[in-house]
Amino acid sequence: MRQLRTFRRATRRCWGQQTAFALLLAVLLAIPASAQEPPKIPVVIDGAEVFRIGSTGEFAATERAQAINQQLHQAVTSPEPPLVEVGGDADLPTLVLNGNHLLTVTASDTPPGRTRLAQARIWANELRNQIRQAQQQRQPDYLWRALAFAAAALILATGLHWGLGRFWQHTLRPELHAVTQRPGGGTAEDRPASLNLLLSLLLLIARTAVWLGAGFYLMNLFPWTRQWGYQLMEILSSSFMDPIFTLGNSRYSVISLLILLVLFFALEIATKTVTNVLKLRVLRMTVANRGAREAIAILIRYGLLFLGSLVLLQVWGIDISSLAILASALGLGIGLGLQDIAKDFGSGLVLLFERPIQVGDFVQVGDFLGTIERIGTRSTLIRTLDHISIIVPNSRFLSGEVINWSHDNPVSRLRLPVGVAYGSNVEQVRQALLAAAKASANVLSQPPPQVFFRGFGDSALELELLVWTAEPSKQLLIKSELYFNIEAQLRQHKVEIPFPQRDLNLRTGTLPIELPPDLTHSLQQWLRQAQNGK
């Protein structure tokens, strides 16, 4: 029972040290790197920190800590019980371990409001307890119990790994998708890709945290692995937390830059998610026009990104005025090789504010015909009738002609040329074309359909049916339906639809062909020979 209580105390102490270290790490990451230099060096036993010491006039804090740690390691591995005594006088008290001088308590080791002798007695008591505990943890009974706890920790970590996946897949993901997806849309295309990425990243972080916690717990169970864990933490701390460059009055480390990048990534995902929710849940009920909703959402998103970036940089200790250097470099880059990108970016701003085209408009750009799905800062996404995504630079919408079938008023007129044979009753054909137009549900009754007689062609009488529709994006389907109706109406009225034909007239007569004398003489000789041969 006594060993079990010792084991529990050791476990609680290790968890307390882990919690304290995590809190210390969070505090250190939240402040500039220039303030992250520890003033004192820790004294450790089996990877557990006992206290911290400072430097003296003769020895640095690192040298003192190394010498003390070597003596403590020898005392821990020795089977003899530790004998820690306080010697010297009140001004320079010393700690003696098993008859050997361990350290001298100086002013750099003593906190304000405490005497050196009192500090020496506190450290002596802590050393006795820690050395005795380290010796007990090397006994077989403790090691067997530690193995049992290690197996339980592995089983628990495996269960948490599986449970987090089930919770993310069946609870958290459907709930968040229900909030952010488009009403009535349940396919994967309607779900925000940034939200899926954020959920996957959070699941990865949660599972990684579970296994890291299990790994540190397993290392803290055994005295030898606890030393390795402490050394690994020291290496990682020195590698990632030491400053690598200076910007202004602040110094930054690798971990500082990584956290800044993660914060910017989280800001981008958060702003995109907020604008998606705003667009799908608020603007959808207050703003009827889809293009206006998209424009408002884009303005809100980039406004949040701009303000959030300024706040992050200010909190991180970066002077915003120092970004003038970055702006100068960006201007130089634009002048040298980024003219097209700057042109597309400026065109995107013009499209956003002037709104000659909007999301949801049916446009024709060159040979491409489709619906605008997204207007970005550099390019615009057009979804064709074949559901092919075409990325068009923004500058092309301002430098060339663009047919916008949905601009201001989506009602558009379609033209269908029709040719009938000569001799057909034109008035009867006109009534047949109007009947074919009225039979289509996609053709508007107001304005009414019209039939124009365009003229006399080479092979047919040329007429044209003009109809109006409110859905220009369906014009191919509407034309196909109308041509089916027209063919049925003409066949019903026995009106012939001709095919192209040409008439060729040949006239007989004498051809005034004159031949050279030599050729005439040769032909006469050939004819005489042919007659003689008969």
pLDDT digits (tens, 9 = 90+) for 169-178: 777 777 666 6
Given pLDDT bands bounded at 50, 70 and 90, which one contains residue 141?
A: confident
pLDDT digits (tens, 9 = 90+) for 55-70: 877 778 778 878 888 8
Write down the domain spans for the chain.
2-137, 141-324, 325-404, 412-492
Q: State residue 192's pLDDT score.
A: 54
Q: State residue 465's pLDDT score.
A: 92
Given pLDDT bands bounded at 50, 70 and 90, which one contains residue 476?
A: confident
1 CA to centre of own chain? 55
Give the H or E element holding residue 301: helix 290-315
Architecture per CATH, 412-492: 2-Layer Sandwich (3.30)
Nearest to 205, CA basis, from 265, 144, 250:
265
Percent of the chain at pLDDT exceeding 90: 5
Determine phi and psi for 415, rounding to 5 degrees.
-115, 130
Q: Is the pLDDT score of 414 beyond 50?
A: yes
Cα separation, 240 vs 254, in Å, equals 5
Any alpha helices (H) in 101-139, and if so which ranges? 116-136
More confident: 427 or 179: 427
Cα separation, 510 vs 335, in Å, equals 80
Task: Please tell me the CATH code under which domain 325-404 is placed.
Answer: 2.30.30.60
The structure tokens listed for 268 are: 């981008």
- 419-431 burial, b at 16+ Cβ within 10 Å, e below that, comes to bbeeebeeeebbe
Q: What is the CA radius of gyration of the chain?
A: 44
The mean pLDDT value for 129-149 works out to 85
The structure tokens listed for 53 are: 């010491």
Q: State residue 320's pLDDT score.
A: 64
pLDDT digits (tens, 9 = 90+) for 334-387: 555 566 677 777 777 777 777 788 888 888 888 888 888 888 778 888 888 888
Residues 265 and 200: beta-carbon distance below 8 Å: no
Q: State residue 193's pLDDT score.
A: 62
More confident: 125 or 407: 125
Q: Identify any residues that bridge with 123 across adjacent strands, giving them in sequence order.
A: none
More confident: 242 or 96: 96
Q: Which amino acid is at 415?
A: R
Q: Which residues, 6+ apart, have CB-to-CB distance to 176 below 8 Å?
A: 195, 199
Given pLDDT bands bounded at 50, 70 and 90, which one contains residue 9?
A: very low
